[in-house]
Chains A and B, each alone.
Chain A
Amino acid sequence: MLSQIQLVMPELALLILASFALVLDTYSSSKEKLLTFRFVQATLLIIICLILFTTPDTQSYSFNNHFITDPMSIILKTVICIISLVVFFYSHEYLKQHENVRGEFFVLGLFAVLGMMIMSSAASLLTVYLGLELLSLSLYAMIAMHKESLNASEAAMKYFVLGALASGLLLYGISMLYGATGVLDLQGISIAASSGIDSGMKLIMVFGLVFIVVGIAFKLGAVPFHMWVPDIYEGSPTAVTLFISTAPKIAAFAMTIRLLSDGLQDLLADWQGMLIILSILSMATGNVIAISQTNIKRMLAYSTIAHVGFFLLGIISGTASGYAGSMFYIIVYALMSMGSFGMVILLGKKGVEADRLEDFKGLAKRSPWYAFIMLILMFSMAGIPPLIGFWAKWFVIKEVIAMGFVWLAAVAVVFSVIGAFYYLRIVKLMYFDEPEQMAAIKASRAIRLVLSMNGMAVLILGFIPGALMALCISAIT
């Protein structure tokens, strides 16, 4: 029993500290809620230490095979915590700008992190669902917290309705799988799927698989289940958009791997085809529609959809190195997305969201350094070396080619060229156009530092991507 507790130590600690933070928040009287904010940041640091130092890095199951810790879960959890840590820095700045700092924001954030950690360690259908719901509910509330804003309320409502629908579909698929195999844990399902079940049962499993893929596609925002993404991204306060577009994507990767690889690897032939369609549609729709956007949050939303299409390429290859490619892709994507939305926050002022593309006009003259960071981020998203975004695309494309899908790689690169256009347009606005106002960007030292580090990470990792690649490969074996 004790060893079981040890395996879930980070999650337990996070639960306790998050609850404590909620209490602490009532004593934090300052307008900026510095006490809660610092406590939450410290909590995340503690959790990172716990993940790295207390959990064994061998594969081990606990709680009747409902919970797994393996190298992949450790790395994903660490990345989720680090990203959330940085995201909270940006969010705090945003909330301060809008004089709307609420302690609950960060507490809900911690619960979302807890949900994501559970998803990363899920070894049964129930744990996947549990983690997913904890994450989703926290996110609904985080969006809705900005209650004076009409857009935010609308976004929260949409997200809730569509999210609930997706959860329902996922649950339906789960029930099918349970019905066909009689077990809930993914190990058992994997054994059942591989031990030559009769064709009637196989049919039910594939039927359930369809709903599971739909649920995953919904959560990732893959076309044709992407409708919510642009509206939620645009409507939510940037602080929340930033959060939604980063850490939960990594959790969604974990969910995909747990369900499709750990549980249903034997149905590869069935889900591969579905994912190919999702992937091509996402790359096409995302990249083409992003071109016509005038709102940067909406543009980045469509760019996310396109990136999800690329991310799926690695999963499609169906091999361990392909999954590693997807993992690398999603981590890199989170890093770039974080910086881009951080930039939107940086440009904003009190009561004003700088979310029009025009807000970037002439940035190179106003604040050359931030323009340079945005330049790095945009070229990285477009997949141009020497930036890390290039290696992400490179990795997944290499994997699909290795599995013989050269035509799919060709489709992918063509769409990446189409996608390059709207990233270039941001660079054009910043560097080739005259600014509407000359005032330099004002921001606190913390966010300037964090944003600079974020940008430099994208640049420097582009020169030395080997370590992160090796880490992703070692995570999935």
Chain B
Amino acid sequence: MELNLPLLSLLIWTPILGGVWVLFVGDRQEETVKVFSLIVSILVFIISVYAYFQFDNTTAQLQFIEFREWIPVFNINYHLGVDGIAFPLILLTTFITILVILSAWEVINYRISQFMAAFLMLEGMMNGVFASVDAILFYFFWEAMLIPMFLIIGIWGGPNRVYATIKFFLYTFLGSVFMLIALLYMYSQAGSFNILDLHQLPLSLETQKLIFIAFFLAFAVKIPMWPVHTWLPDAHVEAPTAGSVILAAIMLKMGGYGFLRFSLPITPDASMALDGFMIALSLIAVVYIGFVALVQTDMKKLIAYSSISHMGFVTLGFFVGFAIFANTESSTGAVMALEGGMMQMISHGFISGALFLCVGVLYDRVHSREISSYGGVANTMPMFAAFMMLFAMANSGLPGTSGFVGEFLVILGGYQASFWIAFLAAMTLILGAAYTLWMYKRVIFGDIANDNVAELKDINSREIFILSILAVVVLLFGVWPAPIFDMMHPTIENLFQHVLQSKVG
């Protein structure tokens, strides 16, 4: 059955309008607000699943295109469309949002309507970022997202929330404005903000390098790469659980998405010229940040550093392709590395989200994130311990979980570029296991550490539901990642072919 619905617009505006409505209902009717928010998020997820069944896996072209004039004097258009890179991320967004809203159900007890509204609007804006074909529309959503996130960390966050949220805001804002300059510069050359037009715009190598750096500032801060990652541990530690989940699961992915959508195809020659730099930064993130994670005493901080380390894999996968191509003269290895990076993004969305939810479960009961406040939790919360075991294993990249697939492909690709790249990247398997499992051991095993732990109640049915859905997904994509690869393969293949063509000329 072919319904000609504006699917992408629905994915963007249903949650935003739902959020507005929730704001108007206000805090007097808390139950209504919660139930309505949940219904909206489920509805959006259903729309995205419907879109998934309409999605054509065989083409690299944009799909579900919507086009409307927005600001005709400057040729800015409300132009939406998705391909195999954007669509999996939209599915991830709609999926995670449901869990986030569920996770806040009993936990957030003040200004609940604003909380729900912020998350619903955030969902719409994130979908907007992934669905925009017009660069200014993209930027519009990209920056607008900062407002709800700023409020989420600032209103419902921990003791040091003001510092964390202002740092988060200014850091990402500073990165993004340079991207805006790059976009405006290209507009002055091309007369168009259509990203596909920008892909074709010829640019000299020098210009490309400057544009690449401008994009790098925006995306490297967002993803985040070493050494511009310092906002992330602060933001994660102070944010409420739901905020951390959204931040780790989706907002970080926007940086990666930006590299694929802007940096690589718009400045391919600069990407090739600077790939050593990008690989070096990625490996520093993987190895050095891995060690930093090892010494953390705060669980959320540990997971935050683990996120940075895993994102190092993503950027490694994206930029190692040139070296692979130079060595093997075939694009197979490079495409594999790119797909590995994409897979790592998706899988990290599930795993880090799940780990933050696990920490949230403990925090709600004991109100401490310090590892030393726990010990022997397995005695009082056996069910929870089992779930957390799975996610900890997934985070350290155990085969059979989705965490393994992406890392393995990137390492395999890296090996074709250079032995040392693969060697250093593979360090993560040791380090990741070390910091995750060591944390797990200290928190979960051993004797009951104190009275707080002794009084812990095991997870309730709502928490079981959230964690088991995530567990299913992590295992499913661990053994059967094909649906994701099928979706993105044509697009990534096409992307890499495009990247190989020089734009200097």
Contacts and interface: CB of A to CB of B under 8 A. Distances in A.
Do A and B associate with each other?
Answer: yes
A414 interface: yes
B140 A420 contact: no
Interface stretch (A65-73, A248-256, A345-353, A395-403): A395-403
Interface stretch (B169-177, B296-304, B361-369, B387-395): B169-177
A327 to B, nearest CB: 13
Contacts of B185: 401, 406
Nearest to A416: B177
A394 B73 contact: no
B272 to A, nearest CB: 23
Contacts, number: 84
A417 B176 CA distance: 10
A273 interface: no
B66 to A, nearest CB: 16
Interface in B235-290: none
B184 A398 contact: yes
B170 A402 contact: no
B143 interface: yes
Interface in A419-477: 420-421, 424, 427-428, 431-432, 465-466, 469-470, 473
Chain A contact residues, majority secondary structure: helix
A432 B178 contact: no
A194 to B, nearest CB: 27
A401 B73 contact: no
B74 interface: yes
Interface stretch (A90-98, A184-192, A378-386): A378-386
B178 A397 contact: no
Contact of A417 (B26, B140, B174): B174
Contacts of B173: 384, 417, 420
A141 interface: no
A386 B144 contact: yes
Given A409-B184, A413-B181, A465 B166 contact: no
A410 B26 CA distance: 42
B460 interface: no
A160 interface: no
Nearest to A470: B73
B147 A384 contact: yes
A39 interface: no
A390 interface: yes
Given A398-B187, A469-B71, A469-B73, A406 B166 contact: no
A410 B213 CA distance: 13
B150 interface: yes
Contacts of A402: 184, 188
A415 to B, nearest CB: 10
A397 B181 contact: yes
B155 interface: yes
A368 B173 CA distance: 26
Contacts of A385: 139-141, 143-144
A384 B174 contact: no
A423 B371 CA distance: 37
Interface in A237-257: none
B180 interface: yes
A401 B144 contact: no
B146 A384 contact: yes
B166 A428 contact: yes
Interface string A358-396: 000000000010000000000100001110001000100
Interface residues of A, number: 30
B154 interface: yes
B72 interface: yes
Contacts of A432: 154-155, 161-162, 165
B180 A431 contact: no
Nearest to B70: A466
Contacts of B71: 465-466, 469
Contacts of A414: 174, 177
B78 to A, nearest CB: 10
Given A401-B188, A466-B70, A413 B177 contact: yes
Contacts of B292: none
Interface in A202-221: none
Contact of B150 (A394, A397, A424, A466): A424
Contact of A420 (B73, B161, B165, B170): B170
A423 to B, nearest CB: 10
A469 B74 contact: yes
A138 to B, nearest CB: 36
Interface in B381-406: none
B424 interface: no
B170 A417 contact: yes
B151 interface: yes
Given A401-B185, A417-B174, A424 B180 contact: no
B151 A431 contact: yes
B162 A413 contact: no
A287 to B, nearest CB: 12
B144 A413 contact: no
User: Which one of B71, B150, B161, B177 has the greatest number of beta carbons of chain A within 10 Å?
Assistant: B177
A159 B348 CA distance: 61
Interface string B165-205: 11001100110011011001101100000000000000000
A398 B180 CA distance: 9
A473 B73 contact: yes
B143 A390 contact: yes
A384 B142 CA distance: 10
Nearest to B210: A406
A344 to B, nearest CB: 22
A409 B184 CA distance: 10
A50 B174 CA distance: 46
Contacts of A368: 26
Contacts of B26: 368
B155 A431 contact: yes
A406 B73 contact: no
Contacts of B178: 410, 413
A256 B278 CA distance: 47
A76 to B, nearest CB: 19
A397 B180 contact: yes
Nearest to B23: A372
A386 B13 CA distance: 14
Interface string B334-353: 00000000000000000000
Given A432-B154, A466-B72, A469-B73, A417 B144 contact: no
Contact of A466 (B73, B140, B143): B73
B170 A421 contact: yes
A172 B179 CA distance: 45
Nearest to B76: A466
Interface in A151-166: none
Q: Which of B71, B73, B178 has the most CB of A within 10 A?
A: B73
A393 to B, nearest CB: 9
A384 B70 contact: no
Interface of B: 26, 70-74, 76, 136, 139-141, 143-144, 146-147, 150-151, 154-155, 161-162, 165-166, 169-170, 173-174, 177-178, 180-181, 184-185, 187-188
28 contacts: A379-B147, A384-B144, A385-B144, A386-B144, A390-B143, A397-B180, A398-B74, A398-B187, A398-B188, A401-B185, A401-B188, A410-B178, A410-B181, A413-B177, A413-B180, A414-B177, A417-B173, A420-B173, A421-B170, A427-B154, A428-B166, A431-B155, A432-B154, A432-B165, A465-B71, A466-B70, A469-B71, A469-B73
Interface of A: 368, 379, 384-386, 390, 394, 397-398, 401-402, 406, 409-410, 413-414, 416-417, 420-421, 424, 427-428, 431-432, 465-466, 469-470, 473
Instruction: Please give me the 4 A-B residue pairs with the lowest Cβ-Cβ distance, nearest first.
Output: A413-B177, A466-B71, A385-B140, A402-B188
Given A384-B144, A394-B136, A413-B177, 10 more contacts: A384-B173, A385-B144, A398-B74, A401-B185, A409-B184, A417-B177, A420-B173, A424-B170, A466-B70, A466-B72
